[in-house]
Amino acid sequence: MLQSLAGSSCVRLVERHRSAWCFGFLVLGYLLYLVFGAVVFSSVELPYEDLLRQELRKLKRRFLEEHECLSEQQLEQFLGRVLEASNYGVSVLSNASGNWNWDFTSALFFASTVLSTTGYGHTVPLSDGGKAFCIIYSVIGIPFTLLFLTAVVQRITVHVTRRPVLYFHIRWGFSKQVVAIVHAVLLGFVTVSCFFFIPAAVFSVLEDDWNFLESFYFCFISLSTIGLGDYVPGEGYNQKFRELYKIGITCYLLLGLIAMLVVLETFCELHELKKFRKMFYVKKDKDEDQVHIIEHDQLSFSSITDQAAGMKEDQKQNEPFVATQSSKRAW
């Protein structure tokens, strides 16, 4: 008897705080996923880093042996300055001296990466004025970009997602949930094909040092706004039509970001995902709901009374002849 009561009380306790338990498991799962990613990246990349370090030590030792007039301190000072300039997007290599990082097309590409929060990091402002302007430009431009993307995605979603699903549901009588799932999968497939596979094939042809995997990697890193900056198109010394190429990449990033947001919004509107997300949300109390309902009723009642009073005043103002006739009869 006591065990059954204790079990029922535990079940009621779990049901009462179900969202809190789900949120706790969500936080735990996210932390475990972070640790899992760290373990995998460390195990995969650490051996390659060790090999690269050994190779650089050998090259440095060989260079100092072949150039005895140069000390190790002087070489490290020179390399430090070269690496610092490379972090700002400036290279000392003879095959890269012809590309300017701050011509109009490159600056347009940089502005698009800043506003979309992609931020490859291959080109950064050099002057204090440029850094200050970048802060002000981002503070205004990033919310402006979010507003722009939200408005564009909302309009596209209506025509691309909601109306087709509603049409097949009303015209053919299919289940709305099934139609929404099939439509989301097809839309995702078309988006991945048009903004990942096809551009990856194009980049693998236009970029001399990129294979298909590296091109696909760039497309994913860019459109997901991760922007690691290890692969940036249009930076080759023999790049043909570089200005036009940069403008095309800017348009691709903007359109691809819009397409990704449309697909994300389409999947977020699925009934199953909405139901799944509600598991981790804080449920509103009944008292709060009643307060909101009462406040809404009071506001609606006051607005109705105000409208009625305004209509009466308008009728009085619009009927002067009736008022004068009634006053004459009174006399």
155: domain CATH number?
Answer: 1.10.287.70
- Can you give the pLDDT at residue 329? 36
Residue 313: inside a domain: no
Non-local (6+) Cβ contacts of 111 within 8 A are: 137, 141
- Can you give the pLDDT at residue 65? 83
Pair (109, 75) in one structural domain: no
Using the 3D structure, point to which of 245, 266, 281 is the last residue of a domain.
281
Contact (CB, 8 A) for 242 and 105:
yes
Contact (CB, 8 A) for 143 and 115:
no
- Can you give the pLDDT at residue 73? 85
- Can you give the pLDDT at residue 150? 93
Q: Is the dihedral of CA 19, 20, 21, 26 positive or negative?
A: positive
Pair (177, 71) in one structural domain: no
**DSSP string covering 152-173:** HHHHHHIIIIIHHHHHHHHHS-
Pair (196, 267) in one structural domain: yes
Residue 319: inside a domain: no
Pair (151, 254) in one structural domain: yes
Q: pLDDT per residue over 236-283, tens digit each? A: 666 777 788 889 999 999 999 999 999 999 999 888 888 888 877 777
Nearest to 258 by CA among 102, 113, 151, 133: 151
Pair (265, 140) in one structural domain: yes
- Can you give the pLDDT at residue 98? 57
Pair (79, 103) in one structural domain: no
Pair (136, 86) in one structural domain: no
Residue 292: inside a domain: no
Residues in the chain, pLDDT under 70: 1-15, 87-89, 92-99, 236-238, 284-331
Give the residue numbers spanning the domain of 143. Answer: 99-281
**Separation between Cα atoms, residue 250 and residue 35, nearest integer Å:** 35
Please give the DSSP secondary-structure letter assigned to residue 95.
Answer: G
Residue 317: inside a domain: no
- Can you give the pLDDT at residue 83? 80
Pair (137, 233) in one structural domain: yes
Pair (34, 88) in one structural domain: yes
Count of residues making up the chain: 331
**Six token digits for residue 84:** 């610092």
Give the total number of structural domains in the chain.
Answer: 2
Residue 236: inside a domain: yes
Burial class, 157, CB count within 10 angstroms (exposed 0-12 / middle 13-18 / buried 19+): middle
